[in-house]
Amino acid sequence: MKKIFFIFFFLITAALCFAQSDPAEGYWLSIDERTNVITAGWHVYQEGGKLYGKILSLSTFYPGIKAENCKDSYRDFPVAGRVSQMSVNGTPWIYGLTKHRNGEWSGGRVINPEDGKDYACKIIFRPADGRRYSVDTLEMRGEIGLGIGRSQFWQKSDFQTASNLWP
């Protein structure tokens, strides 16, 4: 009986040690789909079984800028306080997404800190395939309802690049 317990314990421990994070997690560069210009560096991460995304750096605004165009509160926003007084950097503007399968998340919200508008959010990881996606890509889609919305295609990055976009 002790051997069976030991083997079971070892297998569970090994599985936890080698478990990989979801491919949507990590550091990403958001790219404006209209201009093809990098707009922000993001950290996408899981917390409590939900997916979140916070801006690490912006390419066009200074690092301490506040989200003044946002409302004071949003439904289910994950940070306490007045959203309109929060820094754009370091605040989770993508929040509450639930996993459908590896690399696919939806059911959460995304807030555009530039204008304060919020949208239903869906994220899909698109691996590099040498054809349509030359690099690992994250499709971040904001919708107003009935599938009406727009997608941005973000490029995989690293912490150093994603956190140092300000010139």
Q: What is the pLDDT of residues 32-43, one digit of tens each?
A: 888 889 999 999
Q: What percent of the chain has pLDDT over 90?
A: 76
Radius of gyration over every alpha carbon of the chain, rounded to an integer in angstroms = 18
Lowest mean pLDDT among 7-16, 39-48, 75-84, 115-124: 7-16
Find the mean pLDDT for residues 91-115: 97
CATH 2.40.128.520 fits 21-162, yes or no: yes
Q: What is the pLDDT confidence band of residue 20, given thresholds at 50, 70 and 90?
A: low
Q: What is the pLDDT of residues 139-157, one digit of tens each?
A: 999 999 888 999 999 999 9
d(CA 101, CA 108): 15
pLDDT for 84 equals 97
Our CA dihedral for 76, 82, 84, 86, rounded to 10 degrees, sits at: -90
3-state secondary structure of 148: strand
